[in-house]
Each structure stands twice: as C-alpha cells, then as structure tokens.
Structure 1
Amino acid sequence: MAFQILKRTLSSARKPKPLSVSRFSSSSPPSDQAPSQTSPLISDVVSILTHQRSKSRWSYLHSLYPNGFNPDDFSKIALHIKNNPRLVLAFFLWTQRKSLCNHNLLSHSTVIHILARARLRSQAYDLIRAAIRVSDESEPLKVFESLVKTYRQCGSAPFVFDLLVKACLESKKIDPSIQIVRMLLSRGISPGLSICNALIRLLSQRRGAYAGYEIYREIFGLDCDVLDKKVKRVARISPSVQTFNALMLGFYQDGVVEKVKEIWDQMAGLNCCPNGYSYSILMAAYCEEDRMSEAEELWEEMRAKSVVPDVVAYNTMIGGFCKIGEIEMAEEFFKEMGLSGVESTCATYDHLIIGYCKTGNIDSAMLLYKDMLRKDFRPECSTMDALIQGLCDESRVLEALNVMRGATVDFGFCSTEKSYETLIRGLCEDEKLEEALKLQAEMVGKGFKPNSEVYHAFISAYMKQGNKEVAERLKIEMLDAQMCGNGD
C-alpha cells in the first residue's frame, strides 16, 4: 500500500531521469496557493487567526466554535496559514489542549510538513513521534503513507522522511525503518547519511554485524538486485568514515576480526580517510588476538599520517600490552599519553592495575588503585578481583580483605563470587578460620553457594588443625551439595 502511494506521488513529480532529493521538494505547488473553494468556517477561522491579536484570538475562536473542528477542516485551515508555521503549531497545540479536535494522521501530517517546510526540525520530529502514537505503535508505516499523500500539497522538505526514520530507530523499530528506507531508495531518493549510519549501527547491535553489513551494501548501491530490478538504482550518497566505523565496530564486537580488516580495506579503496576512532577499532581487533606487532604498525601509520591518537587509542594499546604481560610497553604508552595532554580514564587504570597484578607487581597495582580512588574513578569488578587475587598471592590476605571492605564503603562495590572464594581460600591457608567462616556466611547471604573450592579450603584448614571430625563432616556435606546440584 505504502509503496504504491509513494510510487504514484513521486512519479507525478519525476522527469525521465532518476529523481533527486532537491527535485522532490521543488515539485510542490507555490506555498501561497489556496484551494479554489473555501467554506465559510475555514475562511472565518483563517481571518481570526491572522488578524486578531494573539491575546484575544483563542478565546474568541472558542466562543464561536465550542464544538471544535474535524481533522479535515483543521488541515485546510492550516494550509491557508502555512506561511506562518509557528501560528499553525500554536493552533494545533491549542485545539489539542482544549480537546477541540480529534487529531488524526491527516492533521498531524499537515502540521509536520508545514514545520518541515520551515526547517523547524525539532518541532516536526516531536509531532512525528506523536503521530506514530496516534496511528499505532507497531505501524509507523501508516505515518509514512500519510506523509507521502500530503507531501506535495504542503510543499514539504525531503528530510521529513529522515525524521520519520529517526523516530523509528530511536524507538528501536527496525523493520519499519528498513521498509521506509527501501521505498525511498527505490525511487532514487537517498535518506540522510546520518540516518543511514544510525540504521547500520542499530541493525549491527540488534541483529549482528552481518545484518548491518547487508543494509550498508543495499543503501549505497552495492547490491542492485536487492530492489525491484525494473528500478534503476542510483546511489545519491557515499559512505563516510562514520559508516565504516559502525561496520568495523559491529564486526569487532561480534569477534569477526578478518571482516574488520576487510572493511578497513574497503574504506581505503573508496579513498575515505580513517580517523582516530577507525584506527582504535582495528588496533583493538589486533589486540584481542594478541597481534601486538600489527597493532604497533598501525599506531606508527596513524602517527605518520598526522592522525592524533585519542584516549580510546591509548587505552587500546595499553590494554593490549597489559593483556600479554608486556607491562613495560604499557607504561611507555601511559607516559606518552600524559605528555601528550590526554587525560587518563577509568579504563586506563583498570588495564594497568590488571597488568601489574598479572606480572606480580602488586605494590605498583596498589599505588595506581589509590590514585584511581583519589581521582574518583570506580574500578571494574574484574579489576577488584585481580587486585584481591594479587594481594592474596603475596600472602597479604588481611590487606586484601580490607581493600574489599573499603571498596564496599567507598563506592558501593558488590563483592563477586570470585573475590569471596579467593579471600576464603587465603584466610584458610593462614588458618584464620574464624574470619573465613564469617566471610563464608556473608557470601551465602549475598546469594553465592559454596562450591568445591570453598569446601576444599575449609577441609584443608581443619585437617591442618588436626580436627579430622569437622573435616569429614565437611566432605560429606560437599558431596551431598554436589549430588543435589547434579540433580537440579
């Protein structure tokens, strides 16, 4: 239905060559053209709106028309005063507030077009969202059909359809967004680049990177057979660096590193220059696979091309080197980051603390942790787990317990199951059974069930004390718990 309406409306405005966005709007009739026949009600209301003072017009209108207006009459009145878009909007809101018109898609569409024609984007966008609610939350295509029907009469602007797609995307209505974009593309009308990029990003997030890649190829004319073969596809826009970034990020998050590099090569093939974020994504993909030599080469290329690395780029390299235990290289990037005037973030500290813990340099990890808290950063749970583990490995169990308690008080850290297990095991190894039992009770209170590691820690501790009776009871309890767990 919507496709046929669009086809009829746009075909009447076309010349033999493919339709462009600019010609889409220029085919509208003059803005001051009025219908040939006007009812007394419409002419009277138009006269009152345009000639009465703003303070008196509304009360006067209300007294003359206490029963209000139907949507069709409202739309005709709005068209007569469309050269004053703010007055049209005020009239719409007044009738809505006073319940003087049961606005439908026709009246919404008329006002939306008048606002779009005047480049009042935010107001038009708000009304589009309201129109979707009026039609049906699941049927934004009805709004599209109505906008197409009323487009030429209102002398609207093509970006009105971008606003509709944007509203669909922000409400996570992916399928209607795709359908609207396809219907526009089928007539040679390209949606705005920012809207196309937003669609690619959302599709990649919700349905996977390959779904985002497919719509990318369709939008930019790389798959002509996707649309009706009778329609000649003409790509009106070219992908930007943000387009390629969205694609690379999608594949990186899906763990498909080879596709990240493939998109990078496509970007180069189209002479689109990567920005700092582009480099960060590909470097992150290399770091994920411990390919740090390739990540370094990319870093050098970025600097050679005078692309200034941002905090994301620095954090990517620091995290990559920390991951493989090359903490000295991570420190070099950290120093360069400071000298370049790039402010560290929470992620910078998370990477370095975990890196120091991994290499056994727990003192440096603790210094950074304290500095992190001074800067009011909140470490990730994985950072706290690594710090607690590192302290326990150095037989500094009570210090680790104090770190966990302090984090709970200072910034509401919720202790993880791993941290509880590490601390209980350390306390049992130090034969601090009273503290271990208290912590185990706290662990259960948080909803974590003791596992075999916790049981073995207590059994080993009681055996060390020579309390074989308690140790045997714990063994039986552990076996019963394991059997119940397998039964579940």
Structure 2
Amino acid sequence: MSSSVVRRIRILNLTRKPKPDSNISIALLHTTVPSPPPDLSNPTPLDPLISDAVSILTHHRSKSRWSTLRSLHPSGFTPTQFSEITLRLRNNPHLSLRFFLFTRRYSLCPHDISSCSTLVHILARSRLKSHARDAIRLALRLADEETETERVSKVFRSLIKSYNRCGSAPFVFDLLIKSCLDSKEIDGAVMVMKKLRTKGINLQISTCNALISEVSRRRGASNGYKLYREVFCLDDIKVDVTEKFVVRIKPNVNTFNLMMVSFYREGETENVERIWREMEEEVGCFPNAYSYSVLMETYCARGMMSEAEKTWEEMKLKGVDHDVVAYNTMIGGLCSNLEVTKAKELFREMGLKGIKCTSLTYQHLVKGYCKAGDVDSAMVVYRDMKRKGFEAEGLTVEALVEGLCDSDKHRALEAAEIVKDAVRESEFYPSRKCYELLITRLCEEGKMERALNIQAEMVGRGFKPSQETYKAFIDGYGTVGDEETSALLAIEMAESLKLRAGEEEV
C-alpha cells in the first residue's frame, strides 16, 4: 500500500511541469548550465592569499586592515584574486567597495572587466546603484574593443557569465543600460535591450523610458517612437520560448509624456495628438496633469485656443487637478494669442485656489500685455513680479523695453533703467536690437548723454556701431541744436562705412 503511494508520487513529480523561477531567464542566456554558487559560509580557497586577505579585511579594525594588507601583500592582487576575495565579502558590500577603492588608490590590482563585473553584481544586489554604475562605467573604459557596441557587448557578456555565481539581481542590466546612456553609448544600450528582450527578460519601466528619451533627444522623436514600439513589442515581434513565463511590461504615462514632448519640440504637433490617442487606447494608462499640459501647449502653439480650452475643461470632468504647470500653459497660450483678459482671470483663479505663481506666470502676462499694446498693465505686473523676488528672463525684459520705447509717452529713460537693473541683478545681456532701440528712442527724446552711455556699454559688449546707430546720433544732435557734432558724426559714419566695405572686399 505504502509503496504504491510512493510510486504514484514519483510518477506525479516526473510529469509535473516545473514552476518558473526568477533565474530561468538568466539561465537561458547561457549556452551551458551555470555552476552553482560556492559555499561562501565555509570557503576553502586554493590560494592562501585569498583566505589571508579575507581574514584581514573581516577581522582587523578599520584603521589597521589597510596597512596590514599593504605590508603582507605589497605586490597586490590579480583580477581573479580580487574577484574571489570580493565574493567572500559580498554580505558586506560597503567593505567590498572600500577594498576596491583601496586597490585602485595604491595600484594594487590591474582591474579588468571581470573584476569590475564581480563588484558590480555585489553592489547591485545590495542596491548601491550609483556605485555599481560607476564600476560599470570603469568596465566600459577598460574594454579594449574598437567600436562602442563591441565594448558594451564585452561588458554584457562578462556580467552574464558572473551573474549566477555572484547571486546578482536582474536590474543589474538596467544599470548597464543607464550607464551606457551616461556615457552616450546609445547603440550599446539598444543592443543590450534587444538581447534581453529576445530572451523574454523585462527591463524596468524607468530604464525603458530613459532609453526612449535619450534616443528621441539625440536621434529625433521619430526614432524614439520606433524604439518605443520595439521595446514594448507592439509590432508582433517574436520572443523566445520563455515568453509564457514572462509578464509583458507595458508603457506608463511617463512613456507617452516624454514622446509627446519630443514631438512637440520638433514642431510635429500632429504626432503629439497621435501619441495622445495611443495613450487613451492603452489599458490601465491614464493621462496625468502633465499629459494634459503638453496637449494644451500643442493646441496653443497652433493657435487652436478653443481646443485648448476644451482640454482644460476635460481635466475638470476627469477629476484631474489643474496644477501650476497647467495654469502656466494656458496663461501663456492665451497671452500669445492676445487673449490677455482670459489669462488674467486664470491668474486670479490661481490666487483663489492657493496655487502659488511662478516667475513664468508673471512673464507670460508681461509679454502678453506688451504684445497687446498695454504697456501700463505690463509694468504693473512686472513691478509685482519684482516685489515677489522673481527675476525676468531676457526675452521678457526686451519685450518690456520694446513696449516702453514704442509707446507715445516718451518712456525711453524708464526702459533704460529697467535694462540697467536687469544687467546688475540677473546678469542680463541685452541684444544688439535692444541696444539700438534704446539709443534710437533716447536720441529722439533728446537724452543724448544717456544715449552715449548706452552706446559705450554696447561697444563694451562687442557690438560695433551700425549705420542705424550713427543715424540716431546724427538726428539726435541735430534735434538738440548741436549741428557741429552732428556733422562730425556724419563724416565718421561715412569713413566707417568705407572701412567696412574695404574689409568685406578683402
């Protein structure tokens, strides 16, 4: 009876399908079955140097262990010895890292890709990610291959080879890809992603997004989009037999946001709307406030304010709170399209809701009022902005200067003071256009001394006087009755023009 039960249990165990485990995907990367990790609790290394070093590192006090190591082992360690020592210290990753830095500082080990890989695994399994990435970058530099892809491939193979023995964590490959991106080795990062994907090994979503973002930024939004479809297997690309054990990773809202921003920056606003539709079709992925802001910014840039306002209202219906980015987006769009009154209403609404304005909020309003020809309101907002401790960017200052100079109230001196304060307080560097506009208006108003000061500053910034600048001074001195200076400047202008013509011929 009992033997019959045993036989049935054995038959059941033989026919039962094995459960997938966390190591199956990694094991499939090997052409041979990996050897089990050593018994590190009771190590029996063949090399006595290894056991001596481990004993010194684990039992000596921190102040004496390093001097003892140097005195007992002045010739240092081979990369293999370093790896074996570090493996036996893997439960103390900080000590492993200090040992590595010690060997680097005193040139006690000619580290290679293999020794770096061991350290990377030990640091990764203990979540010391930044130090692990430093070690990966060193390994990439030590790889002596000619091409970027070959260097990355060599490091990748080394990490695969030592993965199981070091008891590593799967996201070590995420760290490799991110380190490649840090080193601008995009082709290598894409290569690692493809190799992992064909084996059904998922990267973290943050790694996928970082890879797509970097490709979009450096090689264009269209290439970033192609990579997105490949990363998330959206074109029926076949995967290895491990597919049945793998839960497919899905894009999240940040994936779609970064692609929308990439297309928007390149002016491909139609593609922004296409990405938006794909996001709505993705199960379990919902737009956030930033997603709506990007879409509204797209509509505003195309002058489609009614669509932008519909999107604004949709946020309310979907229960997505309007944050400061959304308000700034709409206020900027309304100001750019000369709907400053609506922008001011949203500005007041921000205050009522307790949402703090940013420098960008004020700058949108200043430029909007200037564009609408209401320079008095622009000055009110600008002064309020200064009281709140915000600094205006160059384009905002120049818009205000242009608004003041083009007004009918002879406000060139006021504009000159704004430029002076901006240069002193925020290192503002006026453009040639800004300088010439100030000089022209000051000369028209007969403020010749101040115009001369502006012109001297302009020359100090490397801008040579143009024909327009000469004409402004000639007319200005003529207006105040100084005909002699006006005539001298006319002669100087003619000589300057001849000299420049001669330089252009040469």
Structure 1: distance between partners of 2:175 and 2:50: 30
| Aligned ranges 1:39-78 → 2 under 5 Å | 39-51=47-59, 56-78=64-86
- What corresponds to 1:4 in structure 2? none
Structure 1: distance between partners of 2:413 and 2:99: 71
- What corresponds to 1:209 in structure 2? 221
- What corresponds to 1:99 in structure 2? 107
CA drift of 1:112 comes to: 1.4
CA drift of 1:310 comes to: 1.5
Could you tell which deviates more after superposition, 125-134 or 461-470? 461-470
Quick one: which amino acid aligns to residue 78 of structure 1? T
How many residue pairs match? The answer is: 472
The answer to whether residue 427 in structure 2 is matched with residue 412 in structure 1 is: yes
Structure 1: distance between partners of 2:121 and 2:436: 63
Distance 1:458 1:119, change over 3 A: closer
Structure 2: distance between partners of 1:470 and 1:204: 58
CA drift of 1:67 comes to: 1.8
| Larger Rg, first or second structure (1 or 2) | 2
- What corresponds to 1:32 in structure 2? 39
Structure 1: distance between partners of 2:421 and 2:62: 63
Structure 2: distance between partners of 1:37 and 1:388: 78
- Relative contact order: is structure 1 or structure 2 higher (C-alpha 8 Å, sep ≥ 6)? 1
Could you tell which deviates more after superposition, 258-267 or 211-220? 211-220
Distance 1:230 1:82, change over 3 A: closer
Distance 1:133 1:255, change over 3 A: same
Distance 1:115 1:318, change over 3 A: same
Could you tell which deviates more after superposition, 182-191 or 345-354? 182-191
User: Which secondary structure does the structure 2 equivalent of 1:403 belong to?
Assistant: helix
| Aligned ranges 1:200-349 → 2 under 5 Å | 200-224=212-236, 236-271=248-283, 272-349=285-362
The answer to whether residue 401 in structure 2 is matched with residue 388 in structure 1 is: yes
Could you tell which deviates more after superposition, 257-266 or 79-88? 79-88
Could you tell which deviates more after superposition, 20-29 or 439-448? 20-29
Distance 1:243 1:484, change over 3 A: farther
**Alpha-carbon contact 1:276-1:313 (below 8 Å) kept:** yes
Could you tell which deviates more after superposition, 110-119 or 237-246? 110-119
CA drift of 1:470 comes to: 5.3
Quick one: which amino acid aligns to residue 338 of structure 2? G
Quick one: which amino acid aligns to residue 115 of structure 1? L
Structure 2: distance between partners of 1:205 and 1:457: 45
Could you tell which deviates more after superposition, 123-132 or 281-290? 123-132
Structure 2: distance between partners of 1:188 and 1:230: 8
Q: Match for 2:465 among 447, 450, 453?
A: 450
User: Which secondary structure does the structure 1 equivalent of 2:234 belong to?
Assistant: coil
Distance 1:396 1:37, change over 3 A: closer
Distance 1:446 1:55, change over 3 A: closer
The answer to whether residue 13 in structure 2 is matched with residue 23 in structure 1 is: no
Q: Match for 2:135 among 113, 127, 132?
A: 127
The answer to whether residue 443 in structure 2 is matched with residue 435 in structure 1 is: no
User: Which secondary structure does the structure 1 equivalent of 2:307 belong to?
Assistant: helix
Structure 2: distance between partners of 1:339 and 1:236: 45
Give the structure-2-normalised TM-score: 0.83
- What corresponds to 1:142 in structure 2? 154
Distance 1:229 1:120, change over 3 A: closer
User: Which secondary structure does the structure 2 equivalent of 1:236 belong to?
Assistant: coil
RMSD: 3.3
CA drift of 1:231 comes to: 10
User: Which secondary structure does the structure 2 equivalent of 1:306 belong to?
Assistant: coil
User: Which secondary structure does the structure 1 equivalent of 2:415 belong to?
Assistant: helix
Distance 1:119 1:388, change over 3 A: closer
Structure 2: distance between partners of 1:487 and 1:235: 70
- What corresponds to 1:191 in structure 2? 203
Distance 1:281 1:482, change over 3 A: farther
**Alpha-carbon contact 1:25-1:156 (below 8 Å) kept:** no
CA drift of 1:252 comes to: 0.6
Quick one: which amino acid aligns to residue 24 of structure 2? R
CA-to-aligned-CA distance 1:278-305 (integer Å, 9 cap, x gap): 0111111111111111000000001111
Could you tell which deviates more after superposition, 349-358 or 434-443? 434-443
Could you tell which deviates more after superposition, 132-141 or 300-309? 132-141
CA-to-aligned-CA distance 1:90-143 (integer Å, 9 cap, x gap): 433333334322222111111211222333333323322333343369534432
User: Which secondary structure does the structure 1 equivalent of 2:385 belong to?
Assistant: helix
User: Which secondary structure does the structure 1 equivalent of 2:300 belong to?
Assistant: helix
Could you tell which deviates more after superposition, 369-378 or 262-271? 369-378
Quick one: which amino acid aligns to residue 297 of structure 1? K
Quick one: which amino acid aligns to residue 207 of structure 1? R
Q: Match for 2:412 among 382, 397, 406?
A: 397
- What corresponds to 1:368 in structure 2? 381
Structure 2: distance between partners of 1:59 and 1:464: 85
User: Which secondary structure does the structure 2 equivalent of 1:154 belong to?
Assistant: coil
User: Which secondary structure does the structure 2 equivalent of 1:389 belong to?
Assistant: helix
